[in-house]
Amino acid sequence: MPQPLQTYYPRCTARLIFRFDEYGAESTLKPAPASTTKNLNGTTVPRSPLTVQPDPSAPPGVTRYVLAPPGGATTVGGPQDQSQSSDGYTYDVTVIPKSAAWSQNGIQQAGTVNLTIKYVDCPIDPRLVRSCGVELYLGCVTEDAFVATNTGSASPQDEVLPATYAGPSGEPRTNLRFQGFVNKWDVSWGDSEPTITIDAQDNSMLLHNQECPPRLSISAALPLDKAVATYLANFVQFAGLSVEYRPSTDTPPILGSVLGETALRPGLGPQPAGGGGGVQKHSVWDLLTDVCGATAHLIRMDGTTLVIQRAKSLLGTSVAQRADDPFRPRTVDGVSFSCRRFLYGRNVKTMKVSRDFGKKCVQNVEVRSQGGNGDKTTLIGRFPLPPDRQVYALPGNAQPDQKWTVYSVPGIKDQPTLAKIAQGIYEQMGRQEMGVEIKTHNLGSFGGDNTDPDILDCKTGDTVEVLVNRDDDDVNEMTHMETALTAQQSNAALMVSLGFSQDFANAYARAYVNAGFTTTYRVKTMKVTWSSEGDGGVDITLHTTNYVQVRADKFLPPGQEPSNVSTAGGA
């Protein structure tokens, strides 16, 4: 039986945390530290205004370091957990936007939010604001609450979407979707009603906006996650952020054991311009990207947590569901499935399948490093291993060749580390070669409803299943019970019936079966738009990338493969 048409009652609210500008008034701000970040070197000019503490709220077995003020609470809830300040310049307000667009932009780009607000709902002149934090809440309310709001019978408190709610099984869930800071604030007056337009970036903005002190270094003697947290503790604006290495079953590397003295200069800090105290253009985010990248790791911001992780532990085919994902396996019409399912013809509005034959074409990777052992020796790491290397083949009888992408990473002192870096680069390229774009009005995946809007809980790297429902009674399409032989014969027969030659039909059907990537995908990016006017409702666009298992799931030599390839990608 088809899944019934789902009805959702979405609601969106935004919390804005203002820090007003004092301008000519007598400043009541706390004095800045005597040692500015410009001159920090980590030794002769010590300065650690924050402390690095284990986060007591982390799940069992998970090590997460939180940056907290000395003598204060171990966790302060993040930079957005501010509603007022002792100087009288910080206040927060909650508004219902006219429209909102929330984008998760993948592992290499910051998440963003765009808000349009009626000026009458928030008549704030941006010239009076020094900075502004943002939290976006998006979720569903009950039908009664939705009707009460539309008829004007709801109380002001009932019109605001609750921050948390109980899921179908009573489990705690959250409607908080985004935390960050305003980049741009525009107010427009014209023939129509005045509006405010806000562009915001996630909390990585704090790290992008902080230049690296030329002489401050990241410790090479600590595990990578604690070394990063200790470095960030030198900056007061990072209070409330946390650092976590994922998955928890893997062991963070110690930088000094894998990087030579020439890697990113001694002490793992940026080189001052001109060799001295010149203008520094390196941001904290750039430095952390370089340091983590030199050890084959990715960094990204997840709410208020800076996540450090290997590409394969996030994108590999054997990675399990992340522990903090509220989605649970479902059974619909007697068919069980363990990940979010999308069926074109049932809960998908439009679907587009694409392949990038140019920029995203998977290639073999070579990484070179010179000077890691204190001499001019050049070490080389390659991935995949020779039996698995990819060939570049064109139509016809031309001899296939191999294509290579070559990277240079200075200061690596052992070949296995270079091979892991090459593997991480290969994983990222191999997961973007093909993709499916899904558009839907449903807030829940197949089997979900207004009480379980699980698509909103999707994050980059999550597994989804994409199927085509050719017929309501097509059980094989739903349950994947077709054998490879049956599928190949069916596809060949279909191609012949359309006028293709038997040889072409057989070759196409054989390639279709051999590919093995036709249903399971990873979420790459997601954009959610909400409007309170017109037809209203929510539109969701998911960009997914596939597993090309025979191409991307390759391994390093025995003993060198990271231990996390078969563990969960989340904390």
Half-sphere exposure of residue 158, counting CA atoms within 13 Å on the CB side?
14
Q: Which pLDDT score is estimated for 343? A: 86
Is 190 strand, coil or helix? coil
Within-domain flag for 215 = no
Q: Which pLDDT score is estimated for 566? A: 34
Tell me how many domains the chain contains. Answer: 3
Structure tokens given for 119: 């000026």
551 and 510 housed in the same domain: yes
149 and 194 housed in the same domain: yes
136 and 185 housed in the same domain: yes
CA 387 to chain centre: 33
Distances (CA, A) of 32 to 129, 209, 284: 20, 18, 20
**E strands along 5-118, which residues?**
10-20, 51-54, 64-68, 90-95, 99-104, 112-118
Within-domain flag for 515 = yes
408 and 460 housed in the same domain: no
d(CA 233, CA 112): 25
List all residues 6 or more positions away from 484 whose beta carbon is below 8 Å from its beta carbon.
Answer: 513
Q: Any bridge partners for residue 331, and if so which? A: 336
CB 363 within 8 A of CB 390: yes
User: Whole-prediction pTM value?
Assistant: 0.81
Distances (CA, A) of 57 to 282, 305, 325, 526: 33, 12, 17, 28
Residue 116 lies in domain: 10-23+73-203
450 and 416 housed in the same domain: no
d(CA 38, CA 75): 27
> Which residue type is seen at 450?
N
Q: Any bridge partners for residue 528, and if so which? A: 102, 540
483 and 344 housed in the same domain: yes
Q: What is the mean pLDDT of each run of 10 residues along the chain (571 residues)?
A: 68 94 72 63 60 87 89 73 85 94 91 95 91 95 82 71 90 95 93 92 95 83 93 90 90 79 47 46 86 85 92 69 87 86 86 72 77 70 74 65 75 75 71 77 91 93 80 44 52 81 83 67 92 81 71 62 44 34
80 and 156 housed in the same domain: yes
Q: Which pLDDT score is estimated for 476? A: 42
* Domain end (from 182, 203, 224): 203
Within-domain flag for 447 = yes
Taking the CA atoms of residue 315, residue 321, residue 322 and residue 327 in that order, the dihedral angle to the nearest 10 degrees is 130
* Domain end (from 382, 402, 430): 430
Q: Which pLDDT score is estimated for 262? A: 46
In terms of Cβ atoms closer than 10 Å to its own Cβ (0-12, 13-18, 19+), residue 79 is buried
349 and 459 housed in the same domain: yes
Nearest to 360 by CA among 561, 524, 550, 526: 524
